[in-house]
Structure 1
Amino acid sequence: MSDAALNRAERAELERLRAQVAQGKGRRGLRWTGSAVLLVLAAVVIVLAGVTVFARNQVLNTDRFVDSVEPLYQDAEVRAAVAARINGAVDEAIDVDALVAEAIDAVQTRGGPEVLDRLAVPLASGIDSFVDKQINAVVYSDQFTELWREATLRAHTAFVSLLRGEGGGPLELRGEDLVLDLGPVVERVKDRMVEAGFALAERIPAVSVTFTIAQSETFAKLRTAAALLDAAAWILPVAGLALLAAGIATAPDRRRGLLIGALCVAGGMLLLSAGLTIGRSAYLAGLGDSVQSQQAAVNVFDTVTRFLKGGAETMTVLALIVALACWLIGPGKAPSAVRRLGAGARNAAARGLAGSGVTFGGFGLAVHRHRRGIEVALAVAGLLWIVLWRHPGVSGVVTVAIVVALLALVVELIGRAAVEAGRGADTPAPRSA
Structure 2
Amino acid sequence: MTPLRVPDALTPRRRTVLAWTALGLAILLLLVGSLTVWVKRQALDTNSWVDASSRLLEDDDVRELAAAELVDALFSGPDLEGRIRRLLPPEVQGLAGPATGLLREAALPAAEDLLARPATQRLWREANRRAHQRLLALLDGDDSGLLRSSGGDVVLDLRPLVERLGDRIGLTPALPPGAGQVTILRSERLGAAQEAVKAIRTLSVLLVVVVVVLLGVALWLAEGFRRRMLVALAAGLIGVGGVLLVVRRVAGDAIVDALTDPVTRDAGRAVWLIGTDLLRDLALALLLYGVLLLAGAWLAGPARRAVAARRRLAPVVRDHPVAIWGAGAALLLAVLVWGPSSGSRRLLGILVLAALVAAGVEALRRVILAEDVPGPPGAT
Is 1:368 the counterpart of 2:318 in the alignment? yes
Q: Take 1:322 and 1:209, find their aligned partners in 2: how far apart are those partners?
A: 52
Q: Show the counterpart of 1:311.
A: 282
Match of 1:180, SS state, is strand
TM-score by length of 1: 0.66
Structure 2 residue identity aligned to 1:271: V
Q: Take 1:227 and 1:384, find their aligned partners in 2: how far apart are those partners?
A: 34
Matches within 5 A, 1:120-269: 120-167=96-143, 168-170=146-148, 180-193=156-169, 198=170, 200-201=171-172, 203=174, 208-211=179-182, 221-251=192-222, 252-269=224-241
Matches within 5 A, 1:82-97: 82-93=66-77, 95-97=79-81
Q: May I ask how many residue pairs the two structures share in their alignment?
A: 345
Decide which of 333, 337, 340 is 2:305's aligned counterpart. 337
Is 1:276 the counterpart of 2:248 in the alignment? yes
Cα deviations across residues 380-429 of structure 1 (Å, max 9, x unaligned)?
7745874x668336xx9xxx9xxx9xxx9xxx9xx99xx9xx99xx99xx
Return closer, same or farther for 1:213/1:202 CA change in 2, 3 Å cut-off.
closer
CA contact (8 A) 1:259 1:326 kept: yes
Return closer, same or farther for 1:315/1:380 CA change in 2, 3 Å cut-off.
farther
Deviation at 1:369, TM superposition (A): 5.1
Q: Take 2:151 and 2:337, find their aligned partners in 1: how far apart are those partners?
A: 35
Deviation at 1:174, TM superposition (A): 8.6
Structure 2 residue identity aligned to 1:165: G
* Runs (5+) with no aligned partner, structure 2: 1-7, 345-352
TM-score by length of 2: 0.74
Cα deviations across residues 67-109 of structure 1 (Å, max 9, x unaligned)?
34432131111111110001001111264432344456xx54x
CA contact (8 A) 2:299 2:306 kept: yes
Deviation at 1:218, TM superposition (A): 7.7
RMSD: 4.3
Structure 2 residue identity aligned to 1:62: T
Deviation at 1:315, TM superposition (A): 0.8
Q: Show the counterpart of 1:11.
A: none
Match of 1:165, SS state, is coil
Is 1:60 the counterpart of 2:44 in the alignment? yes
Structure 2 residue identity aligned to 1:326: A
Match of 2:172, SS state, is helix
CA contact (8 A) 2:256 2:269 kept: yes
Deviation at 1:277, TM superposition (A): 1.9
Larger CA deviation: 264-273 vs 373-382: 373-382
Cα deviations across residues 214-241 of structure 1 (Å, max 9, x unaligned)?
99x9876221122232222222222212
Q: Show the counterpart of 1:13.
A: none
Decide which of 15, 20, 39 is 1:36's aligned counterpart. 20
CA contact (8 A) 2:285 2:340 kept: yes
Larger Rg, first or second structure (1 or 2)? 1
CA contact (8 A) 1:190 1:201 kept: yes
